[in-house]
Amino acid sequence: MSEQRQQATRRHTCERCPLRPLPIFRDFAESELDFVASFKKGELTAERGASVLIEGSHNAHLYTVLSGWGFRYKMLPDGRRQILNYVMPGDLIGLQGTLMGEMQHSVEALSPLLLCVFERNKLEQLYKCHPGLAFDITWLAAREEQMLDENLLSVGRRTALERAAFLIASLTMRAKAVGLNGNGAVGLPITQQLVADTLGLSLVHTNKTMRKLADRGLIRWRDRGCEVLDLERLREIAHSEFPEETKRPLV
């Protein structure tokens, strides 16, 4: 019934989801797919630099990234900014705001961003009728928590060089897992200012740190992005576990 209206506002049907066929995502049952399709209210696009979610606002929507990059951040009253994590295809955003009312962080698009929009209202039904999907949402929340743990360890205890290497390496691995830049060279659409705000460093010191990595031939900066040349050595410098990505749900 409302199916047509929905069709009108979306260009990608769930049946032909460009993400779901990726090996990283677990298989969904027919009934689950059907529900997700009905759960999806429409699509939202955001240009580079646009705010998708804003700290302090009451946005009742839930989103899954279909394509593009973005980042989650918080700010202090005086303007200091801390990037909490990056989002890329397959990631769920807005859960905190949906569950607890007010957004406690913002999300901004790093590149043109395409989002599937889900409505809060149907979340109850999801929990009632599709425990598997409910479990998936919890799973995704736990995964986000895990990434935050790792970032906190990084900012709190790693040196500037280690932090930088860790950030670049982990973003690269996440990107690969969702099929971005499969053709060899991996390009991260980030600026050094973003990196600085992620690592808890100043812009200048970030630049000097990145320069070290570049001088060693591990990365290269070109037109608004970071090109990764030697993922293995970056991982070594970060000396982190990097547990291999297992199958995960895609809501």
Partner DNA sequence: CGGCGTGTTGACCGCTGTCAAGGGCAGTGG
Partner DNA sequence: CCACTGCCCTTGACAGCGGTCAACACGCCG
Q: Based on the shown chain and the rule CB under 8 A, indicate whether residue 204 belongs to the binding site for its own copies.
A: no
User: How many Å apart are CA 192 and CA 111, to the nearest integer?
Assistant: 15
Q: CA triplet 139, 243, 138: central angle to 5 degrees?
A: 5
User: How many Å apart are CA 160 and CA 152, to the nearest integer?
Assistant: 13
Select the binding partner of residue 224 from its own copies, DNA, none (C-beta < 5 to 8 A, by kind): DNA
Q: Based on the shown chain and the rule CB under 8 A, indicate whether residue 96 belongs to the binding site for its own copies.
A: yes
C-beta of 14 vs 160, nearer to DNA: 160
**Closest to 147 (Cα-Cα) out of 92, 185, 184:** 92
In which residue are the tokens 């690969």 written?
176
C-beta of 136 vs 197, nearer to DNA: 197
Q: Based on the shown chain and the rule CB under 8 A, indicate whether residue 122 belongs to the binding site for its own copies.
A: no
C-beta of 11 vs 208, nearer to DNA: 208
Q: Based on the shown chain and the rule CB under 7 A, indicate whether residue 208 belongs to the binding site for DNA.
A: yes
User: How many Å apart are CA 159 and CA 157, to the nearest integer?
Assistant: 7
Q: How far is the CB of 204 from DNA (least distance, A)?
A: 3
Other beta carbons within 10 Å of 180: 19
Select the binding partner of residue 236 from its own copies, DNA, none (C-beta < 5 to 8 A, by kind): none
Q: Which of residues 120-159 bind DNA (CB under 7 A)?
A: 159
Q: Based on the shown chain and the rule CB under 8 A, indicate whether residue 84 belongs to the binding site for its own copies.
A: yes
For residue 245, give every residue at least 6 positions away whose Cβ sits within 8 Å of its Cβ, in sequence order, or none: 24, 173, 174, 177
Select the binding partner of residue 148 from its own copies, DNA, none (C-beta < 5 to 8 A, by kind): its own copies
Quick one: CA torsion of 16, 3, 65, 182, rounded to 10 degrees?
Answer: 10
Select the binding partner of residue 149 from its own copies, DNA, none (C-beta < 5 to 8 A, by kind): its own copies
68 within 8 A of 118, measured Cβ to Cβ: no
Q: How far is the CB of 148 from DNA (least distance, A)?
A: 20
Q: Based on the shown chain and the rule CB under 7 A, indicate whether residue 51 belongs to the binding site for DNA.
A: no
**HSE-up of 39 (CA within 13 Å, CB side)?**
26
Choose, by CB under 8 A, the member of 50, 153, 203, 204 that binds its own copies.
153
C-beta of 59 vs 207, nearer to DNA: 207
Q: Based on the shown chain and the rule CB under 7 A, indicate whether residue 203 belongs to the binding site for DNA.
A: yes
Q: Based on the shown chain and the rule CB under 7 A, indicate whether residue 210 belongs to the binding site for DNA.
A: yes
User: How many Å apart are CA 249 and CA 26, to the nearest integer?
Assistant: 5
Q: Based on the shown chain and the rule CB under 8 A, indicate whether residue 116 belongs to the binding site for its own copies.
A: no
User: How many Å apart are CA 125 and CA 36, to the nearest integer?
Assistant: 11
Select the binding partner of residue 229 from its own copies, DNA, none (C-beta < 5 to 8 A, by kind): none
Site residues (vs DNA, CB under 7 A): 159-161, 191-193, 200-211, 214, 221, 223-224
